[in-house]
Amino acid sequence: MSYQRREFLKLSSGFASAIAFSSIIGKPGFTDNFFEGAKKLKAFGLQLYSLRDVLPNDPKGILKQVASFGYKQIESYEGPKGMFWGMTNIEFKKYMDDLGMTIISSHCDTTKDFEKKVADAAAIGMKWIMFPYEGAGKTIDDYKKYAEDFNKKGELCKRNGIRFAFHNHDFSFRAINGIFPEDILLQNTDPSLVDFEMDMYWVVTPGQDPVAWLKKYPKRFPLVHVKDRTKGATATADTCTLGRGSIDYPSILKEARKQGVQYYIVEQEKYEGTTPIDSARDDAEYMKKLSI
């Protein structure tokens, strides 16, 4: 066989393969799934509670460092200087804009000045106000009362163009007389008024499966907390740097995206001998490499 003939056959084979491949990727559903494993996470956020030991001393300086690590979103909390860390809501948004970040939500005390907090958050385009912590020792009836209250708060938020959400700890994923409080909250709140932020660490800690809950209540969890659990941990609160622990986030977050999760918020509560800033930087490096 001549050289020219061999080269012609190679080219012909290549063109045929290309045509066949293009016909496949044009079929419905193929594009969404074929490259799924290669999609890098475009944006991720940081819960500022991770920096509680350093943030109050220099909010602007710490936030500037956070932006330099690659975080594009911020979830605040109500600390000693309020949700906006000594700034007005407008000033805080302007500073976020200057850093190339967005404040999407905040945890806060929803029993005090709630209407003002909602109005301030809505005025700068935040998406959620969060109920952060219900504490232990609650009954099923207590959770039913929570659900009723959440619906009322959700109505107020909706009138202001913002959303209300519940952030779990392990309490709602520990059964009480065979009933999970999280089920009570999800089944007794109006999806048009109340969202849920799944803290995956606090789902795994009592032995529950985040993916199973995401599938059970699709699109009820638009945002999640991403924090790792130390391998072999026995303590309830034993977090570690992302990627060094026991939680399989590459698998979990792929499923989370399919079930309607839109925002991935890093949180860390223990620093493994490093500083909070070092931990935030290391967690960001992990998130940048994550494909979901």
Domain parsing of the chain, residue ranges: 38-289
The per-residue DSSP string of 118-146 comes to HHHHHHTT--EEEE----SS--HHHHHHH
Length of the chain: 292
Question: pLDDT (tens digit, 0 to 9) for every residue of the chain, 292 residues total?
Answer: 544 444 444 444 444 444 343 333 333 333 333 334 447 888 999 999 999 999 999 999 999 999 999 999 999 999 999 999 999 999 999 999 999 999 999 999 999 999 999 999 999 999 999 999 999 999 999 999 999 999 999 999 999 999 999 999 999 999 999 999 999 999 999 999 999 999 999 999 999 999 999 999 999 999 999 999 999 998 888 999 999 999 999 999 999 999 999 999 999 988 777 899 999 999 999 999 998 8
Residue for token digits 């979830």?
75
φ, ψ for residue 46, nearest 5 deg: -130, 130
Q: What is the CATH number of domain 38-289?
A: 3.20.20.150
pTM equals 0.86
* Bridge partners, residue 73, by sequence: 45, 102
Helix (H) or strand (E) holding 249: helix 249-258
Half-sphere exposure of 230 (CA within 13 A, CB side): 14
Q: Report yes or no: 89 and 97 within 8 Å, Cβ to Cβ.
A: no
Angle at 98 between CA 93 and CA 99, to 5 degrees: 95
Candidates 198, 193, 173, 168; CA nearest to 183 is: 173
